[in-house]
Amino acid sequence: MKHQVTRELFTYWDGLRGGRTAPERSDIDPAEIHQILGDTFILEYENQNSLRFRLAGTRLCGSFCRELKGQNFLSIWNREDISSIRLLLTAVAEDEAAAVVGFKGKTERNQELDFEAILLPLRHYGQPKSRILGAASPADIPYWVGIWPLTELSVTSMRLIWPDERPSFMRKGAGDTGSNKFDLAPVTAPQIAPHLQETPTFRSEQRIGHLTVIKGGRSD
């Protein structure tokens, strides 16, 4: 995780969940993340084709020069990347993984801006697969942000993080019918802290779009 916003939201989410795979939507207190609130958003996961913005921060909406609330999250991505984004979101919502996405935003004038985003699972009234907490922040803020809207996003990198060392479907009881829809080998991630360098990644034998994962093991 390269950006302070990404690290801060992950740390906050990780502290809220305790021993759970994901915290409740009602656990989120905007006052506790007020410094990054303008970059955050919450998605309502209806199905693989519909993930609508329930909330979207002012700085994020400003990059698009429009209100994102109610918009389909998939509609803002390059058509070539939609299947990869859909796959990643399914891992977050159904397998309760965390995900870090690098992407490039582009305007009608071909101005480009690099972003890093994080996607984190939330439960709603105890039910999984219902909400996703996220944040997206730019690498810098050029003069044209808020003047020329971003019209299309393209993925530059994707990484999955298993905060509890292994996917949630591997922690379920023997009678649970949950399965790994991605057929990925178990992967883990170290505790995230600003002083740690990014863990080297490796590619799954089955490459799916831009999808990469973080290799397990702590670096301390």
Q: What is the pTM of this model?
A: 0.76
Q: Is residue 219 a part of any domain in this protein?
A: no
Q: Is the dihedral of CA 146, 2, 114, 25 positive or negative?
A: negative
**Structural domain count, the chain:** 1
Domain span at residue 153 reads: 4-214
- Which two three-digit tokens encode residue 125? 């009234």
Q: CATH number of the domain at 106, please.
A: 3.30.450.20
- Which two three-digit tokens encode residue 142? 């050029």
Q: Is residue 220 a part of any domain in this protein?
A: no
Q: Is the dihedral of CA 203, 208, 210, 215 positive or negative?
A: negative
Q: Is the dihedral of CA 163, 165, 168, 172 positive or negative?
A: negative
Q: What is the pLDDT of residues 126-154, one digit of tens each?
A: 777 789 999 999 998 899 999 999 999 99
Q: Is residue 52 a part of any domain in this protein?
A: yes
Q: Which of 147, 190, 158, 142 is nearest to 82 (CA)?
A: 158
Q: Is residue 208 a part of any domain in this protein?
A: yes
**Is 59 in a helix, a strand, or coil?**
helix
Q: Is the pLDDT of residue 191 over 70?
A: no
Angstrom distance (rounded) from CA 152 to CA 149:
9
